[in-house]
Amino acid sequence: MYISKNPYRPIKSEVMDVITETSTIKTIKIRPGEPIDFKTGQFIELTIPGVGEAPFTPSSRPAIKEMLEITVMKVGKVTEAIHNLKKGDIIGLRGPFGNGYPLDEFRGKEVLIVGGGCGFAPLRSLMYEFFDHEDEFKKLFFRGGCKTSKDFLYRKEIEEWAKRNNINLELTVDEGDSEWDWKVGVVTTILDDVDMDFANGVAIVCGPPIMMKYATKKLLEMGFRDKNIYLSMERNMSCGIGKCGHCRLGIYYTCKDGPVFRYDMIKNYPDIWD
Amino acid sequence: MMEKLLLRGDNFLKLVTGLGKDYSIYLPELKGNKLHFIKHNTEDTSNLSNENISYISLYRTFEPLKNFFFKAREIVAEDFKDDIPKHEEKPYCIIGVKACDLKGFLVQDHVFLNHDYKDPTYIKNRESNLIISVDCTSPIDTCFCLSMGIKPYPEENFDLNLSPIDNDFIVATGSARGEEIIKAYSSLFDKIGPEHLEKQGKNRKASEKIVEENIKQHEIPYQEMFSGIIEKNYEDSAWKDEASTCVECGACNTICPTCHCFLLYDQKDEEKMARLRVWDSCLIKDFALIAAGANPRPFLWMRLRNRFEKKFDYFPKVANFYACTGCGRCISACPGKIDIRRILKRLVDNVHK
């Protein structure tokens, strides 16, 4: 648990490895200077000394305490600095913050996981949590989509998941090529063959806003209840502790009350997908 | 609460000089027609004239009180150290604080003290600074505290409160620290008589009357009418109309005693790393922008609506109060003449007419 008296203080941590995933995405392996015991779906704030901070949900197995991984797409100032990190560099970590996935709500149920693009990062952590407690969940359905085969984050790893028992897995890309032998089309097109008890099942969606918007629409059409759809909302989470005001969503702060929200909690707020 | 006491005008100067040993004293001073909190040199009380003393009761200062507790720019963490940075300066004793600014603590305390994560820098400032509030004797034309449920004289959240009676003051204590000061300087205080209380009541009524006139003249609704004004007006044309003159300067945010948003800013010189907590403004375009490029409020009118939503929808829902003090600072600060009184009237009229 985070025991710091000063919630703005980063914990001194060391970069152990940097893995290039795609042309714009890297995974950073970090050894936290003090234990960070995160629940899957919670996030940390990563500090590049002198550059700034940005929030990331760890993509690694929560059970592994001594090493934490984050998977980062290069989009801004901090993420660019993260992409320039090398083994041995010193960074800062704060957290974990937020609510994480409510695993207790998923137990004994059929669970559909829908991911897109960089959304695979938090979902990877979640999937390992599911695999570590396999007998507690009735059945897993995984549906993943990316733009092209070259952007497909963790492709080899995800393809390994398909070989497990108790999982039904399908992948797609928007534009196919010779490297791709799964489906072609947007991710909503591979939801049609999901065969589960929608009214009692749980759906977890994580990906770019546009994908979450259409996936949620589709899930509702399929018969999922709005209170059983879990979304990872993306907002400007700066302080991580519900004070700085940037990530407000209605009566919630995404950093404190999220980043995972049940759809029924937020569906009446306009512009949630922007 | 201890019994009320009388502090004679010349003893007020002695009290200020005494407190100056432990505190940096800030008093309102008149510059043009605006009052500003100015640091007072307690080594030399000769520069504190009766005129200066009269400034402490007039009306609220130009800048909000929050800057003494939640500073515009403050180092909140250094390197990887848990301790908050040490300051050489003495704690502040702020004299002449008005009731409207004290309501600001409802919001600031809610944000910085009352959550799972507390802000240690704010806690330190809150614990160490001394507040000597004063009744408001000359509310100005932008004042509408009464419509926000506040009287123009402090009732809580102060260490000591002064009510001017001619050249003297009735002193009320509002905290244990206030009581300690009364004890430590007991020779400076006299007993009050019923005539003093009568005078205090009269003065307070007179100030209320001024604010009531403001409210009547500008047809400002009382907060009892505010229920649902944001939800029911969410898609109303008011937001676009009212935001048409906004120049995105953020003055309304910096001047507001309840605005609390900030950004964390890191700087590094040589080997030292500092994290600063800096006031931010929700009217600025990139306030809610995320690195990947999405912006939930790309238009100015959405950001103006957001400011009102935060104060008149979010805070009443999560904390049971409207986050406005009626100080009117945003009215005077806005170069686009965006007037919170006019907007509130419009929103309330839409709902109730």
Is residue B42 located within the same domain as residue B175? yes
Residues B131 and B256 in one domain: no
Interchain contact B85–A (C-beta under 8 A): no
Among B160, B186, B217, where does a domain finish? B217
B176 and B301 in a single domain? The answer is: no
C-alpha B242/C-alpha B340 separation (Å) is 10
Name chain B contacts of A12, Cβ cutoff 8 Å.
80
Q: Which of B42, B103, B34 is nearest to B63 (CA)?
A: B34
Domain co-membership, A234 together with A133:
yes
What confidence category does residue A1 fall into, taking pLDDT thresholds of 50, 70 and 90?
very low
A130 and A225 share a domain? yes
Same domain, B146 and B187: yes
Q: Is B269 exposed, middle or buried (0-12, 13-18, 19+ CB in 10 A)?
A: exposed
Same domain, A141 and A221: yes
Domain stop point among A55, A72, A96: A96
> Which B-chain residues 147-186 have CB contacts (< 8 A) with chain A?
none
Same domain, B202 and B275: no
Contact in structure between B220 and B226 (CB atoms under 8 Å): no
B211 and B79, same structural domain? yes
| A54 and A125 together in one domain | no
Average pLDDT of the residues of chain B: 93
The model's confidence at residue B44, banded by pLDDT at 50, 70 and 90, is low
> Which A residues, 24 through 43, put their C-beta within 8 Å of a C-beta on chain B?
33
In which domain, by residue range, is A245 found? 103-266
Q: Are residues A92 and A150 in the same domain?
A: no
Count CB neighbours of A175 within 10 A: 11
Mark whether A61 and A174 lie in a shared domain: no
The residue from A53, A74, A96 where one domain ends is A96
**Host domain of residue B338:** 223-352
Task: Please count the structural domains in chain A.
Answer: 2
Q: Within this chain, do residues B158 and B137 fall inside the same structural domain, yes or no?
A: yes
CA distance, residue B90 to nearest chain A CA (Å): 22
B160 in helix, strand or coil? strand
Number of domains comprising chain B: 2
- B166, B189, B217 - which closes a domain: B217
Look at residue A271 and tell me if it is in a domain: no
CATH number at residue A59: 2.40.30.10
Q: Does B306 lie in the same domain as B177?
A: no
pLDDT digits (tens, 9 = 90+) for B137-160: 999 999 999 999 999 999 999 999
Say yes or no for a CB contact (<8 Å) between B118 and A7. Answer: yes
- Pair (B141, B286) in one structural domain: no
B85-135 pLDDT, tens per residue? 887 789 999 999 999 999 999 999 999 997 778 999 999 999 999 999 999
pLDDT band at A4 (very low <50, low <70, confident <90, very high): low
Nearest chain A residue (CA) to B287? A246
Which residues make Cβ contacts (< 8 Å) with residue A18, sequence separation at least 6? A26, A27, A28, A29, A85, A86, A87
| pLDDT on residue A2 | 45
ipTM tops the 0.85 cut: yes
Tell me if A251 and B317 make a contact (CB, 8 A cut-off): yes
Domain end call among A77, A96, A115: A96
Q: What is the CATH number of the domain that holds A239?
A: 3.40.50.80
